[in-house]
Chain A
Amino acid sequence: MWNFSLVLISVLAASGEVAFLAGTEQEDRCVHVLSVETGEVTRVGLGERDGAPVWSPEGDQIAFSAQYPDGLGIYVIHYPGGTPQLVPAIGTWNQYPRWSPDGSKLAFQVGGLLEASIEVFDVTKNASVRYGGEAKGLMRPVWEANDRLITVGIRGLPDELTSGLTLVTENNTEKTNRSSDAYTVWAVEPSAPLEAVAFESNDGGDREIIVYTARSGAVDVSNHAAADLNPVWSPDGQWIAFESFRGGTRGLYQVKPAQLLVKTIAADPGYNNWSPSWSPDMTQVAFITDRSGSPKLAIVDLASGETRLFDAIPGDHAAPAWRPKGK
């Protein structure tokens, strides 16, 4: 078998940095940062069941969840050179951190499903406050504006659950008509220009990628009989990378919502590719692949289709996140 890494390492003139998780098991999963140019890897997390790393808009901080004595805490590390600092929070089971567009706040989910609520950490005040009043069933927050979140809002509490898009501000929640309460949505992602929102939904019988805009309403942009998951907008808001089982395994595809044009990024019937993250210049996508038998970080050049596999980095890998350029 030819050595995939060595053959392709010279082909890609790549640069930038990718944060990702590496570990043998959930218990030792730790945030690392890869220099794409040199291949050097820096351990920056705690190695305490670290969650997916999330870069600040300027690319100078990384937020992630990790186990701490009370449960799961949100940590922030200045990069490079910082040490992880625990974000003060009211709740003790905190995950899915997400930076506001101006980088001044960090929203995260507290608790799970039926009891889930939202807190927001204000960086300048070094304090967290609860958002959405006393509402529960609010999950996986993302920012629609610097003062407003979109969350996965659980409907039908306590025992006839579906989910839809719910707007959350500090004191209020508002169900939206961007999705139907009859279905179950997940993985809500606003586009970078904040003009559209993509999400998973089982509207149509199986899991699809839906894009909502004020002008067009909700449109199924992936439309396939196999499950489509995990939409990730390109930095310019023109494309969505997503995962799909349409090839029999979990593969990576991209769709241009304006044209409903679907293209393959990386898919193979013999192995799985998942967790896409766009490079800032949109020429490459970092992802995880099990083509070598275990989950490893890889980067594909979108123009050539050539792939660089980082299988020499120890452990199983997960959740790559390309460092943004910042200003």
Chain B
Amino acid sequence: MTSRIGLVLILALPAVWARSADGLLDVVITPNNGMPALVKPGESFSITSKSEATFAIQNDLGTYPVAVEWAPLPGGRFRGTATVPDAAAPGAYAITASTGDKSDTTVRSVYVLSEFPESYSVAHVSDTHVGSGRHPRPSEAIVQDVFNAVNATGAAFCLVTGDVTENGEVEQYQNFVKLLDTCTLPTFVVSGNHDRKALNYENFFGPDAYYFWFGNDGYLGFDTKDFIVADDLSPQVNLLYPYRRAIKPARWAIGFSHRYEADMGMNAQLTLFVDDPLDHFFFGHWHREARAHEKEVPWNAPGGAVPYTVTPAAINGAMRVFKVDANAITPEPTQKVAAIE
């Protein structure tokens, strides 16, 4: 079914919340500010929703109703394909779902881009550990400095690879989302072991695994859980292979996750490092730089072993930028951008 709403209807809507009042995802599951859509005017993006709501994207410059073609998903959810109007100006947009008298808005969920450059840089932040008291300076202040530094990089977007909270508490997620929303770049989040408390991560950010395109490059984010790393019993196995296949035509296929361990689940290893090896893999978790011998996964894959880059923890004031162009994926040195005392 195709749905359209007009600008008049949008203006008539009651006051909207960013997500639900407690910060949890509400009607709109994806895109969200941890998994935004990157599109050019006239292009389409995918929506996962709890209902066949009417949708619009909006920012200070305008509000644009978006037409959505819906298909049902198992579990009572819906997947829609939405098209960004040609008139939408480049910039960050909130996505708003309206159903009956209810409205749900998630900010920084759609980024309209005029082009996808062939050469660009990406910021990598990991292990923000919001809510931790491990340093004299509050974790929120440290992480704010890190995101301020991210904003100054001129990167195309930012990967945030897990342990976003200290121990997965709802209040910590709420504070993390507030910090995340100070980022002026699109932010792509995956969970870490510290984020595992019931289904809090999923309630704030939705899918554990996903992929997206930036121009001709494919990025695949996945979950490594909290004890048995990238557990083979996880239904994530259903996703990794089709997602890897989906970005197979990419110029570069780049993976990102919270952690890499040599003994992580074999399905993830075989899918991403052996049978159809990624071109590069970014992660955190270690809270340190890689040592001299820690450069690539040890599998002897077709085309060579998968190189990896670990970025030290943001809670210790660190972040990294890597450059992507036609010739290479080039991690730059770690930047220390925040004091911890």
Selecting from B30-38, B73-81, B249-257, the interface stretch reads B73-81
Other-chain residue from A21, A158, A202 in contact with B298 (beta carbon distance below 8 A): A158
A250:B228 contact, CB within 8 angstroms: no
User: Would you give the shortest CB distance from A200 to chain B, in whole angstroms?
Assistant: 8
A291:B74 contact, CB within 8 angstroms: yes
18 example contacts (A-B, Cβ-Cβ < 8 A) are as follows A26-B233, A49-B227, A113-B262, A114-B262, A115-B263, A116-B263, A159-B305, A160-B300, A161-B299, A202-B270, A227-B241, A250-B237, A270-B74, A272-B238, A288-B235, A290-B74, A293-B75, A293-B76
Chain A 173-203 residues near chain B, CB threshold 8 A: 184, 186, 200, 202
Question: Is A209 part of the binding interface, using a Cβ–Cβ cutoff of 8 Å?
Answer: no
- 3 smallest A-B Cβ distances: which pairs? A293-B75, A112-B263, A272-B238
Chain A 153-174 residues near chain B, CB threshold 8 A: 156, 158-162
Question: Is A248 part of the binding interface, using a Cβ–Cβ cutoff of 8 Å?
Answer: yes
Other-chain residue from B75, B261, B263 in contact with A294 (beta carbon distance below 8 A): B75
User: Would you give the shortest CB distance from A52 to chain B, in whole angstroms?
Assistant: 7
A21:B263 contact, CB within 8 angstroms: no
B249-286 contact mask (Cβ, 8 Å, vs A): 1 or 0: 00000000000011110110011001110000000000
A186:B270 contact, CB within 8 angstroms: yes
- Chain B residues with Cβ below 8 Å from A206 are 275-276
Question: Is A79 part of the binding interface, using a Cβ–Cβ cutoff of 8 Å?
Answer: no
Closest to B274 in A: A184
A292-311 contact mask (Cβ, 8 Å, vs B): 1 or 0: 11110000000000000000
A72:B228 contact, CB within 8 angstroms: yes
User: Would you give the shortest CB distance from B233 to chain A, in whole angstroms?
Assistant: 5
B233, B235, B266, most chain A CB atoms within 10 A: B233
Main secondary structure of the interface of A (DSSP, over half): loop
Question: Is A274 part of the binding interface, using a Cβ–Cβ cutoff of 8 Å?
Answer: yes
A227:B275 contact, CB within 8 angstroms: yes
- Chain B residues with Cβ below 8 Å from A318 are 233
- Chain A residues with Cβ below 8 Å from B264 are 112
Given A186-B266, A292-B75; A272-B235 close (CB under 8 Å)? yes
Closest to A294 in B: B75
- Chain B residues with Cβ below 8 Å from A292 are 74-75
- Chain A residues with Cβ below 8 Å from B237 are 250, 274
User: Would you give the shortest CB distance from B263 to chain A, in whole angstroms?
Assistant: 2
B51-91 contact mask (Cβ, 8 Å, vs A): 1 or 0: 00000000000000000000001111100000000000000
Main secondary structure of the interface of B (DSSP, over half): loop
Number of A residues near B (Cβ < 8 Å) is 50
- Chain B residues with Cβ below 8 Å from A159 are 296, 298, 305
Complex CA–CA separation, A25 to B263 (angstroms): 20
Question: Is A51 part of the binding interface, using a Cβ–Cβ cutoff of 8 Å?
Answer: yes
Closest to B234 in A: A26
Closest to B225 in A: A26
Other-chain residue from B77, B199, B262, B263 in contact with A24 (beta carbon distance below 8 A): B199
Question: Is B8 part of the binding interface, using a Cβ–Cβ cutoff of 8 Å?
Answer: no
A249:B300 contact, CB within 8 angstroms: no
Question: Is B12 part of the binding interface, using a Cβ–Cβ cutoff of 8 Å?
Answer: no
Chain B 212-248 residues near chain A, CB threshold 8 A: 225-228, 231, 233-235, 237-238, 241-242, 245
Known contacts A184-B275, A227-B241, A245-B241; 14 additional CB pairs below 8 A are A26-B228, A27-B196, A51-B233, A52-B233, A72-B228, A114-B298, A200-B270, A206-B276, A250-B237, A274-B237, A293-B75, A293-B77, A294-B75, A318-B233
Question: Is B1 part of the binding interface, using a Cβ–Cβ cutoff of 8 Å?
Answer: no
Complex CA–CA separation, A21 to B233 (angstroms): 10
Closest to A51 in B: B233
Other-chain residue from B77, B227, B234, B261 in contact with A27 (beta carbon distance below 8 A): B227
Question: Is B198 part of the binding interface, using a Cβ–Cβ cutoff of 8 Å?
Answer: yes
Given A25-B199, A159-B298; A319-B74 close (CB under 8 Å)? no
Closest to A159 in B: B298
Given A274-B237, A293-B74, A293-B75; A184-B299 close (CB under 8 Å)? yes
A204-217 contact mask (Cβ, 8 Å, vs B): 1 or 0: 00110000000000
User: Would you give the shortest CB distance from B145 to chain A, in whole angstroms?
Assistant: 33
Chain A 63-77 residues near chain B, CB threshold 8 A: 67, 72
A27:B226 contact, CB within 8 angstroms: yes
- Chain A residues with Cβ below 8 Å from B196 are 25-27
B233:A274 contact, CB within 8 angstroms: no
Complex CA–CA separation, A112 to B268 (angstroms): 14
Closest to A139 in B: B266
A26:B75 contact, CB within 8 angstroms: no
- Chain A residues with Cβ below 8 Å from B199 are 24-25
A76-114 contact mask (Cβ, 8 Å, vs B): 1 or 0: 000000000000000000000000000000000001111
B274:A202 contact, CB within 8 angstroms: yes
Chain B 289-333 residues near chain A, CB threshold 8 A: 296, 298-300, 305
Closest to A154 in B: B298
User: Would you give the shortest CB distance from A88 to chain B, in whole angstroms?
Assistant: 22
Question: Is A122 part of the binding interface, using a Cβ–Cβ cutoff of 8 Å?
Answer: no
Chain A 240-277 residues near chain B, CB threshold 8 A: 245, 248-250, 270-272, 274
Given A113-B263, A116-B263; A26-B231 close (CB under 8 Å)? yes
User: Would you give the shortest CB distance from A104 to chain B, in whole angstroms?
Assistant: 28
B36-57 contact mask (Cβ, 8 Å, vs A): 1 or 0: 0000000000000000000000
User: Would you give the shortest CB distance from A55 to chain B, in whole angstroms?
Assistant: 17
User: Would you give the shortest CB distance from B106 to chain A, in whole angstroms?
Assistant: 21
B235:A112 contact, CB within 8 angstroms: no
Question: Is A220 part of the binding interface, using a Cβ–Cβ cutoff of 8 Å?
Answer: no
User: Would you give the shortest CB distance from B247 to chain A, in whole angstroms?
Assistant: 15
